[in-house]
Amino acid sequence: MSWTLTAISAVGFVTVAVYAAVATLGWRHSDLRCGPEITVLHIAVGISALAYSIQLGFDSVAAQALWWKISFAASTAVPVLWLIFVAQYVSHSQWVTPGRVGLLAVEPLLVAFAVATNGSHGLVWAIPPGATAVAGSGLDAVLGPLYLAHIVLAYVAVGLGMGLIFLVGLRWSLVYWKQVAVLLVAPVPPFLTNLAFTAGVSPIPGVDLTPFVFTFTGVVLVLGLYYFDLLERVPIARRQALQAMGDGLVVLNSDRTVVDADDIARRVLDPAPEPGQPIERAFPDCSFDQLHGTTIADTNAFAYDVRVSELQDERSDEIGYAVALRDVTSRRRYEQRLEVANRVLRHNLRNDMNVVRGYADLVASGSTEETARAAESILNRTDDLLTVSDKARKVSKLDDSHARTPTTHDVTELVDSVVHQARRIYPDAAIRFDGAARAEAELTAAGALATAVEELLELLVSQADRDDLLVRVAVEADDDVVVRIESNGAGIPAVERETLAAGSETPLQHAEGLGLWLAYWCVIENGGTLDFADGPEWDDAAGVVADSAAEGDRSPVDATAQSTDGGRHADSTGADSGGASVVRLTFPRTAD
């Protein structure tokens, strides 16, 4: 027994290289629909072709019979893999359940077992006594009933797959006619060569050319993948969706099943849309018919308008839908700021001007003592209005920075500068500062962080109702960078936190000013979160804080949980209606 590299074996090895290249391309595109199916299909055919090429180099009956068994056993899986590929292509991946795949795999496994034990029953093929083997030619065997039955089932599977492609092609009309033509032509050559071998009329007597001719199928599929957009299957969908100017894109077929989704859509939607799944999974709270025109928010509080466009072919036949997600975060945040600033300004201006008018009447007609009190009140109210005006100016200058690339900043250094300035502004308040080393965070607007700390310090100092006010500011660096501000004063009132948690100002629920809103907006622009806890226990003698607020007592106002169009927050007041004396600003830390 010897092995010789024959011409037909050499051709076979070349085809194996082609299969390896096609399988590699499918593996590299495994994230695309049909990519894994193409890979597995060509691995199976490649193994069959390799074994058959080795078989044709032997001049021994026993050696050729052994490698023929390996080749034929590997090829038995091809019809099933073809059907799975077709199901994925026609967007009916729901057909490919584990149970159905297992049922389809029964026949190839039984045939493979019969091939392995063929020597004891001869039902697959029989080699006549005295038969000889010649290198470069296959064995002259009599094909048995199991072989013929398997071939018939394989032909049925190939025909069924081609029929499905043809029917779907008619439904898709002219949009995908090139793709359909590619898939209808691809299996024809190996089908014909196998039929010729089974009938005993192979162009090369005794040689089954099917494993070699199947390279035509692989090459045609590659052309479909890169030239006719076979695996994407959405050329018209992409054109029309781009016209809709969507930042995220989900393409559906006419059954509202996901065909494709880009990276933005997968990041925004939870759960992420996957090919073969109904679109309702990605939008569990809204029916598809009501989806157009809604606004959703992702886990980073970025807002997206949803647009649904019907896709039509050249004959105006409906072929699917494009769901476009347009980033409107900047617009939504601007609208929220405008709404809050408008209501606060109107409320404070109306109330304070009524007070100013009343005291002006006292000045005009009152005694000297009343005139002095009225003048002081007028000054206080005027200062309040000027403060609100200044904060409104800061709000108007806020720049939406969520789309910027974050950069690394030393939070300890930033907060230390703010505390140093606050000590000069509030000389009657004792402000302590503890800063951790290397408290570096990823921020998109470092100046906004400084503004947030300034506003929170002002709120805690202005709400204080004791002379021995002590404020402690600490910067902690663990998994995240946390700026912790604590006060032994009255803290931030519940109504302020409730208004912030509601996401907007209402006639019956509004904050007294813009300070807390401004701090919140500055925090979320840096991708951070803002949460509160009720007062710590103070050891005034030692001048230190012992935090008694349990983790469960904290009530977050979390930017990742709020929709910018007036979304939802957890209740930031807890069971207590008093003030919150602990404020935490949390930001993502720079990776070491």
pLDDT tens by residue, 72-119 = 999 999 999 989 888 887 777 778 888 888 999 999 999 999 999 998
Read off the tokens for 591: 């990776």
| Top-ranked range on mean pLDDT: pick from 22-31, 201-210, 381-390 | 201-210
Query: Which residues belong to CATH 1.20.1070 in the chain?
Result: 7-226
pTM of the model: 0.44
pLDDT band at 437 (very low <50, low <70, confident <90, very high): confident
Distance CA(94)–CA(87), nearest Å, equals 8
- pLDDT-derived band at 513, boundaries 50, 70, 90: low
Task: Give which of 114, 182, 105, 169 is closest to 144, Cα–Cα.
Answer: 114
pLDDT band at 407 (very low <50, low <70, confident <90, very high): confident
Q: Provide, rounded to the nearest whole percent, the portion of the chain with pLDDT above 90.
A: 17
Please give the helix or strand (H or E) that residue 428 lies within, else none. Answer: none
Report the pLDDT value the prediction gives residue 76, as an integer from 0 to 100.
Answer: 92
For position 453, what pLDDT does the model report?
Answer: 92
268-283: average pLDDT: 87
**What span, in angstroms and rounded, lies between the C-alpha atoms of 135 and 55?**
8
Specify the CATH number of the domain 7-226. Answer: 1.20.1070
CB 344 within 8 A of CB 511: yes
The pLDDT score that the predictor gives to residue 552 is 38
Q: What residue has token string 């059954």?
A: 255
The predicted pLDDT at position 561 comes to 34
Percent of the residues in the chain that have a pLDDT greater than 70, as a whole number: 71
- Low-confidence winner among 4-8, 99-103, 114-118, 346-350 (lowest mean pLDDT): 346-350
Q: Where does the chain hold its CATH 3.30.450.20 domain(s)?
A: 235-327
Q: Name the nearest CA neighbour of 57 among 11, 23, 24.
A: 11
Which residues of the chain form CATH 3.30.565.10? 400-588
Instruction: Name which of 201-205, 216-220, 268-272, 532-536 the model is least confident about.
Output: 532-536
- 430-435 and 582-588: which strand pairing? unpaired
Taking only the tens place, the pLDDT of each residue in 172-196 is 545 566 677 777 888 889 889 988 8
Query: Looking at residue 492, what DSSP letter applies?
Result: B
Q: Give the pLDDT of residue 153.
A: 93
Average pLDDT of every residue of the chain:
77
Give yes or no for residue 316 having a pLDDT over 70.
no
Domain 235-327 superfamily per CATH:
PAS domain (3.30.450.20)
Give the integer Cα–Cα distance in Å for 57 and 10.
9
CATH of segment(s) 400-588: 3.30.565.10
Does residue 269 carry a pLDDT above 90? no
244 or 135, greater pLDDT: 135
Question: Above 80 in pLDDT, residue 514?
Answer: no
Q: What is the pLDDT of residues 358-406, one digit of tens each?
A: 666 666 566 677 777 777 777 676 666 666 666 666 665 666 555 567 8
Q: Is the pLDDT of residue 217 over 70?
A: yes
